[in-house]
Amino acid sequence: MTGPFIRPANLRVKPLRDNERARVEAALSKRFLTTGLVPEIVDQPGKKPKTEDEKRKNRLSKALSAYTVSHLCQVPEHDGIASLVDGEEDNGIDAIHLTGDTVYLVQAKYKRGEPDRDEDIHPFVQGVRDLLDGNYENF
């Protein structure tokens, strides 16, 4: 599977308004963060420590991935958590879930700004290509 990623011309994604973002964040926090389903982020020895804001965004991104799996696949939230691919070398894939003969691949980022920038999408597309091509050394 080679060639450039070509975005469909009709793909339009609008950023959330502040009140919408606040509701999403509150729901993710209540369901995944305060319950401990998504654990606290611990700084790794030898790496630059993350700010509290970076840690929170990272946890919210994981919660969003887990919620996406649990909602789309109609499975319990702990199954969404179990689908998370944790680590910096995930090749753009944040969650993998199998249902029957269907594989769900999820990439989610919780951040402000335009949600559909190519630099956010490219690592996921490349990760899917590597997975389909059997290039597992990239994970």
pLDDT in tens, the chain (139 residues): 555 656 566 666 777 889 999 999 999 999 999 999 999 988 889 889 999 999 999 999 999 999 999 999 999 999 999 999 977 778 889 999 999 999 999 998 888 766 556 677 888 889 999 999 998 887 7
Check residue 4 and give its pLDDT: 60
Check residue 14 and give its pLDDT: 76
The tokens for 139 are 């994970």
Residue count of the chain: 139
How many Å apart are CA 105 and CA 52, to the nearest integer? 28
Check residue 112 and give its pLDDT: 74
Check residue 102 and give its pLDDT: 93
How many Å apart are CA 29 and CA 67, to the nearest integer? 11
Domain boundaries, the chain: 18-138
Check residue 95 and give its pLDDT: 95
Among residues 67, 53, 54, which one has the least CA distance to residue 24?
67
Question: Is the torsion defined by CA of 30, 35, 37, 39 positive or negative?
Answer: positive
Among residues 34, 108, 41, which one has the least CA distance to residue 69?
108
Check residue 72 and give its pLDDT: 95
Check residue 6 and give its pLDDT: 61
How many Å apart are CA 66 and CA 96, to the nearest integer? 10
How many Å apart are CA 101 and CA 23, to the nearest integer? 34
